[in-house]
Structure 1
Amino acid sequence: MSRLAHPAGRIASGSALTAQRLARRTAAWVRRGRRDDLTGVKAALGCWLRLGLLALGLYLLWRLIRAVPNLLWPLTAGWLIASWRAGRKTPAPAAEDAPTGPDVEAVRTLLLEAMGEGDAVHLSTVLAHLQKRGHGEGWRVGDLRARLEALNIPVHPKVKAGGKGPTRGVRRADLAPSPATTPETSTAPSTAA
């Protein structure tokens, strides 16, 4: 990796953050032009006026840069400084390696809860269970399947559960904790002699 990769990445991520921050502040400034004491079109006239001022300012800046192209140097330097400062606040690349999703045991517990007394559960049932709890908003069954497979939880293509026909699902037998995480249940006193 090049020595310039880290500074370039910092400037790139900082530039994106700076652009987002600038867009958010501009949109908030335009929204503040709305009058709450008026209704209809009259209430939005302040927003339209601010949008017009913004368009006029951008047009004048464009004309100024066309007349004096060297003005781009200080503008670019200012943008780079702002991007460098904003890039400092982004998480380090090592933070990408940290787990961001739920741990495997929590997912197994959730699947067993959705399964109830049965031996298997359909992914559509698990997804409905998740969304009822406020998680997985906008997910489809394929999204859930990909996440389960990323956690090394096997998803079978034809599982019968809840009296419904076979479809993708998870079996109780596959959710047993791995031998590395279960406590030793062997007869230790007989082997200790």
Structure 2
Amino acid sequence: MLGLAWIAVRACRTAPSLLWVVTAGWLWAAYRAGRDHASAAPAEDAEPAPAEAAENAPDGPSTEAVRTLLLDLMGDDRGVHLSTVLAHMQEEGQGVGWKVGDLRVRLEALGIPVDPKLKLSGVPTRGVRKEALLPPSPAEAPAPSPEASTAA
């Protein structure tokens, strides 16, 4: 190995233009090594995707408990902002250190739709609409398909 290094140094001293070839080869090898390393394992510092975050989230309250909390916070309004929900939760000692995005991911994992621009008191921001939490009325239920009645 030491002999190869000595030959490389002597060759570069006699023909300095060889350094351009060596530099290009070195850059190509570094690029390939970086690309291979990046595709082999994800970075440890990267944030998990929302689906992964929801799967890794500790078991929390049931969907019905969350729906009840949201409906209580809404009162007579037509919805509630996620920032309001988060502030209420943190007053109760839950969700400490969470951000609105963390709450949104957990609500969506429970199947509760989050509206990106819910406008209450003139402020449009992320929130949950009351109509998304209430079950549909029987009058709005879809009619049974005609195929089911003729099959009997």
TM-score by length of 2: 0.50
Higher Rg: 2
TM-score (norm 1): 0.39
